[in-house]
Amino acid sequence: MLVSALVLTVEDGDLARLLTHLSADPRLELGSLVGRRLPVVAEVPDARSGEQLVEELQGLAGVSFVDVVLVDFSMANTQEAI
Amino acid sequence: MDRRDFLRKSAMSAAVLAASRGSEAAEASKTAVDPAVLARSGAGVTWNKAPCRFCGTGCHVQVGTHNGRVVAVAGDRLAPVNQGLLCVKGYHVGLALYGKDRLTRPLLRKDGVLVPITWERAIAVASERIAADPKGFAFYGSGQWTIPEGYAAQKLMKAGLGSNHIDANARLCMSSAVTGFLATYGVDEPAGCYDDLDVCDVLIMWGNNPAEMHPVLFSRVVDRRSRGDKITLVDIATRTTRTTGFCDHQLLFRPHTDLAIANGVMNLLLERGAYDKEFVAKHCAFRADSAPATLQGQAISIDEFRRQLALYTPDHVEKLSGVPAAQIRLLADLFGSPKLRITSLWCMGMNQHTAGTAMNTLVHGLHLLSGHFGRPGDAPTSLTGQPSACGTVREVGTLAHGLPGGLVIANEKHRKEAEEIWHVPAGRIAAQAGHHTIEMWKRFSTPKERGGDISTIWVQVTNPGQSLPNRHALVDPSRKLPGKFLIVSDVYPTATTAIADLVLPSALWVEKNGMVGNSERRTQQWFKMVQPPGEARDDCWQTIAVARSLHDKGVPGLKDKDGKFLFAIERDGKELPIWDWKHYYDVNVDEHLFEEYRAFTRFKHKDLAPYREYVRARGLRWPVVQQKDGSWRETRFRFTKFDDPYVRSDGRVDFYHSPTEDGRAQIWFRPYAPPPEVPDKDFPFWLCTGRVLEHWHTGSLTMRIPQLAAAMPQAYVEVHPNDARVLGVNNGDMVVIESRRGRVTLPAWLDGRGAPVVGSVFVPFFDERVLINNVTLDAYDPFSKQPDYKKCAVRLHKAGANRLPT
Contacts of A73 in chain B (CB under 8 A): 71-72, 94-95
User: Which residue in A48, A50, A71 is closest to B73 by CB distance?
Assistant: A71
Residues 222-281 of B with CB under 8 A from A: 222-223, 225-227
**What is the 3-class SS of chain A, one letter each residue?**
CEEEEEEEEECCCCHHHHHHHHHCCCCEEECCCECCEEEEEEEECCHHHHHHHHHHHHCCCCEEEEEEEEEECCCCCHHHHC
Give the DSSP per-residue string, B373-429. -SBTTBEEEE--SSTTIIIIIIIS--STTB-GGG-BTT-HHHHHHHHHHHT--TT-S
> Of A15-19, A26-30, B471-475, B797-801, which gets the smallest average pLDDT?
B797-801
Higher local confidence (pLDDT), B496 or B46: B496
What residue type is assigned to position B176 of the chain? Answer: S
Q: Please tell me the distance from the alpha carbon of residue B334 to that of residue B265, in angstroms, as a whole number.
A: 10
The per-residue pLDDT for B302 is 98
pLDDT band at residue B36, thresholds of 50, 70 and 90?
A: very low
pLDDT band at residue B311, thresholds of 50, 70 and 90?
A: very high
Q: What percent of chain B has pLDDT over 90?
A: 83
Q: Looking at residues A39-64, what average pLDDT do you find? A: 85
Residues 22-51 of A with CB under 8 A from B: 29, 31-32, 34-41, 43, 47-48, 50-51
Over the stretch B572-594, which tens digit does the pLDDT of each residue have? 999 999 999 999 999 999 999 99
Higher local confidence (pLDDT), B360 or A49: B360
pLDDT band at residue B76, thresholds of 50, 70 and 90?
A: confident
Q: What percent of chain B has pLDDT over 70?
A: 95
Residues in Cβ contact with B771 at an 8 Å cutoff, skipping those fewer than 6 apart = B466, B471, B495, B744
H helix runs in B581-665, sequence order: 581-584, 589-598, 611-616
Q: Reduced to 3 states, what is the DSSP secondary structure of residue B527?
A: coil
Q: Please tell me the distance from the alpha carbon of residue A65 to that of residue B1, in angstroms, as a whole number.
A: 32
> Which position among B52, B55, B173, B200 bears the catalytic label?
B173
Give the DSSP per-residue string, B578-599. TTSHHHHTTS-HHHHHHHHHHG
Residues in Cβ contact with B574 at an 8 Å cutoff, skipping those fewer than 6 apart = none
Among B51, B72, B55, smallest CA distance to B63 is for: B72
Q: Do B15 and A31 touch (CB under 8 A)?
A: yes
The chain-wide mean pLDDT, for chain B, equals 93
Among B322, B438, B434, smallest CA distance to B789 is for: B438
Q: Do the Cβ atoms of B528 and B589 come closer than 8 Å?
A: no
Q: Do B226 and A9 touch (CB under 8 A)?
A: yes
Most confident of B422-431, B727-736, B750-759: B422-431
Residues 8-37 of B with CB under 8 A from A: 8, 10-12, 14-20, 22, 24-25, 28, 35
Contacts of A29 in chain B (CB under 8 A): 8, 12
Q: Looking at residues B739-745, what average pLDDT do you find? A: 95
Contacts of A41 in chain B (CB under 8 A): 8, 11-12, 15
User: What is the biggest distance separating any 2 CA atoms in chain B, rounded to whole angstroms?
Assistant: 78
pTM of the model: 0.87
B174 in catalytic set: yes
Give the DSSP per-residue string, B76-107. -TT-TTTTT-B-TTGGGGGGGGG-TT---S-E
Dihedral angle at the C-alpha atoms of B600, B606, B609, B610, nearest 10 degrees? Answer: -20
**pLDDT at residue B46 tops 50:** yes
Q: Do B222 and A9 touch (CB under 8 A)?
A: yes
Residues in Cβ contact with B580 at an 8 Å cutoff, skipping those fewer than 6 apart = B545
**pLDDT at residue A69 tops 80:** no
CB pairs under 8 A between A and B: 147
Q: Looking at residues B587-609, what average pLDDT do you find? A: 98
Q: Looking at residues B111-130, what average pLDDT do you find? A: 98
User: Which residue in A5, A10, A50 is closest to B12 by CB distance?
Assistant: A5
**CA distances for B652 relative to B64, B431, B639, B657, angstroms:** 45, 38, 9, 16
**CA distances for B470 relative to B250, B355, B446, angstroms:** 32, 19, 15
Q: How far apart are the first and last CA of chain B?
A: 69
ipTM of the complex: 0.91
The per-residue pLDDT for A71 is 73
**pLDDT at residue B57 tops 90:** yes
Among B785, B73, B117, smallest CA distance to B504 is for: B117
pLDDT band at residue B22, thresholds of 50, 70 and 90?
A: very low
What residue type is assigned to position B199 of the chain? Answer: V
Q: Looking at residues B773-799, what average pLDDT do you find? A: 95
Q: Please tell me the distance from the alpha carbon of residue B186 to that of residue B200, in angstroms, as a whole number.
A: 26
Q: Please tell me the distance from the alpha carbon of residue B467 to that of residue B327, in angstroms, as a whole number.
A: 35
User: Which residue in B15, B84, B94 is closest to A41 by CB distance?
Assistant: B15
**pLDDT at residue B564 tops 70:** yes
Q: Looking at residues B597-610, what average pLDDT do you find? A: 98
Over the stretch B342-355, which tens digit does the pLDDT of each residue have? 999 999 999 999 99
Over the stretch B214-262, which tens digit does the pLDDT of each residue have? 989 998 898 888 788 999 999 999 999 989 989 999 999 999 999 999 9
Fill in the DSSP letter of residue B3: H
The residue among B2, B6, B10, B16 with the most chain A CBs within 10 A of its CB, best to mutate, is: B16
Q: Do the Cβ atoms of B651 and B641 come closer than 8 Å?
A: yes
What's the distance, CA B485 to chain centroid? 27
Among B435, B455, B502, B443, smallest CA distance to B168 is for: B435
Q: Do the Cβ atoms of B322 and B702 come closer than 8 Å?
A: no
**pLDDT at residue A73 tops 80:** no
Q: Please tell me the distance from the alpha carbon of residue B434 to that of residue B125, in angstroms, as a whole number.
A: 24
Q: Looking at residues B328-332, what average pLDDT do you find? A: 98
The per-residue pLDDT for A79 is 35
> Which position among B52, B55, B59, B174 bears the catalytic label?
B174
Q: Please tell me the distance from the alpha carbon of residue B721 to that of residue B759, in angstroms, as a whole number.
A: 10
Q: Please tell me the distance from the alpha carbon of residue B353 to that of residue B174, in angstroms, as a whole number.
A: 10
